[in-house]
Structure 1
């Protein structure tokens, strides 16, 4: 199929393949073509870019990309299907290398007993996940004790872009979208040895053609023991919470949620759910976003249940609501029963990650637990692997066509080399 453009009025002409019965198909205006394409999934549109130059330019245009993202978020979530990204690693010839696996959330939920294939990408270096937003994954080199070097990657389109390195031990970091400036930012709080001892520094990198790391005010950080040595057990990566009027990175620190506003570049905090004043291990707590609500998860050491709270109105401590109390005793082996909530379905099935079991499905209606079959994922035996990883190793992302405005994929960053593609679910 080819497309011919006519000068006036501006229309796109669809022509069938030349055969003995060739005939002109409907001559559609460009606006109609755009409306049709906006109703297709991101992955389909990625393939359609190769149809012709005019479609490639149309689908790659920032306005089209933004409209498709807006439509998929507000009107039709099926256009940007949720997927799981996870990192694994191994030693080869004495060097650490890694791989990134991608798999469909819906295939796991719909057919947990069916063998779910993983789309794997191998890399000679070692990467962890800082965060995900609007279809973009922010990865970082695994050696966070020396420097920060971040890679932005859209698995759907293949777009990649890297930030410059900054020296220092990365203690806290995060990635998200600033709706006020229409830009994507990385936050990093680092510690390094200076002339008078250890120096703390908080910096921001905004992805753009001429961006560099810049220092910001970090005084409020120190007030919360963040990033001091006694908060090593706190999760390094901030959970991004975004809406039409909010864009924050969030951490659990000393029984409060400490947040950093990516737009205003200011700090704030609010209480955790009531009844959490007990000194539970910090490594057992977890922040996530479920059904567009900031959620807090932890293990109740008395009932041995995994508790999930949702904040119905962001920042309003009175809006904390208990979503679930999942009984895991006897179903998930200690001591690696820490659960990281990832996604919840419309039928109230909570998809979680457990270090010693990989993906686990918890049905909130009947409290049943299921362990889906996943081939080639390397998702088990994570306790060994997690001892070396300095960033989180699994997250949810939604497929999109997004790339930051003004950026072209950096061809020098050939960080991802695909294996032969398995059948994608």
Structure 2
């Protein structure tokens, strides 16, 4: 006999369906309505359903943001809305600021979680922190000796875990010592020693970080592979997060140029480099991850006088995102956000409202801002983890102007 659902069950399902259609930031506020709503919104299955729905059906539920950590004029995280910059570039996009108690460097982001490294100021001890800016969730890893010169963060879908990779250097009895470690974010996890990168096989000096096109690895995730990727001379070196093994494949053949930059665009591993002969930035996409034959030219972007920083000519153009209408959002070598239309070649420069940051522009941050990361606002926190750190980054709000009394 078919069971007839009670009115209360139907009402609960209706409420759940309505809440699943709301943006993540709104749901965070609604957790305080009542205990039942808080329990529902905080439940892991609701969190994941909301994330999947937003990614597949309605991206507006988890708006895209750009996050970067800056040490000047004040220490903290800065966040910019991708939608605001792309839809209304002439209207100022507000720069949100979060003040932090320590010095951090960003390693990566996934599922709305930002992973950062901190140090004690002496470069002898490090720890990592996982932070969800939308919910305020923070988790701090155990300390580890040394500083990670090469690192990467990603998600292993086979084990449903977030992993942090680092090559740590520290002062030893006979000089600098190096060891490769991995940390799986979990309630009882610790740093584990793993095999070092087989740079000798690639013909690369093991003590020369300049061989890395990017010392912070780029995470690529799909059903077939979850890897952290670095460009090293003529190849992409990757670390498989599931198998915890290394591999490599070749980069596209380049006639000239240097200063490569890896990223993930439209779910494909992508490469951008400066061609000094033709005076253009060349963008490539790998249509089938791991297959060098699938490298395809995506765009050729002519040099623009506002896109190069002559004091640091080795900094590449950094592609961040491509819209459905083929507009590329990128960061220039002089730390200026740009919009480049891949169809007609038009260029635009979004206006940034930095009043929350003492009117400090991005172009003045090149010494203090090593990496920028795209992330989705979400409700996600790793399964089994509870916030264990009091080092919460506080949002700096712009004071409202006082009313004018006539």
Taking only aligned residues, the RMSD between alpha carbons, in angstroms, comes to: 2.4
Matches within 5 A, 1:38-49: 38-49=20-31
- Asked if 1:110 corresponds to 2:87, the answer is yes
Contact 1:202 1:217 in 2 (8 A): yes
Which of the numbers 375, 382, 386 marks the counterpart of 1:397?
A: 375
Q: State the match for 1:250 in structure 2.
A: 229
1:365-412 deviation line (CA, Å, top 9, x unaligned)? 221221111011634234xx44456xx331110111100111111242
Which of the numbers 69, 79, 85 marks the counterpart of 2:61?
A: 79
Which of the numbers 195, 204, 215 marks the counterpart of 2:182?
A: 204
Q: 1:144 to 1:394 in 2, by over 3 A?
A: farther
2: distance between equivalents of 1:219 and 1:112?
Answer: 42
Matches within 5 A, 1:146-225: 146-218=124-196, 220-221=198-199, 223-224=201-202, 225=204
1:119-178 deviation line (CA, Å, top 9, x unaligned)? 211124222210000100111226695443211110111111111221223221011111
1: distance between equivalents of 2:122 and 2:291?
Answer: 34
1: distance between equivalents of 2:321 and 2:51?
Answer: 19
Q: 1:195 to 1:408 in 2, by over 3 A?
A: same
Contact 1:85 1:101 in 2 (8 A): yes
1: distance between equivalents of 2:29 and 2:336?
Answer: 31
Matches within 5 A, 1:358-377: 358-376=336-354
Contact 1:176 1:185 in 2 (8 A): yes
**Aligned-residue offset at 1:422:** 7.5
Contact 1:255 1:276 in 2 (8 A): no
Instruction: Name stretches of at least 5 consecutive residues in structure 1 with no aligned partner.
Output: 1-7, 13-26, 92-96
Q: State the match for 2:307 in structure 1.
A: 332
Which of the numbers 104, 107, 117 marks the counterpart of 1:127?
A: 104
Matches within 5 A, 1:332-351: 332-335=307-310, 336=312, 338-351=316-329
Q: Normalising to structure 1: TM-score of the pair?
A: 0.85
1:283-335 deviation line (CA, Å, top 9, x unaligned)? x2111011111101111111111111111111111111111111124342442
- Asked if 1:305 corresponds to 2:280, the answer is yes
Q: How many residues align?
A: 388
Q: Normalising to structure 2: TM-score of the pair?
A: 0.88
* Secondary structure of the structure 2 residue equivalent to 1:285: strand
Which of the numbers 315, 318, 333 marks the counterpart of 2:293?
A: 318
Q: 1:86 to 1:10 in 2, by over 3 A?
A: farther
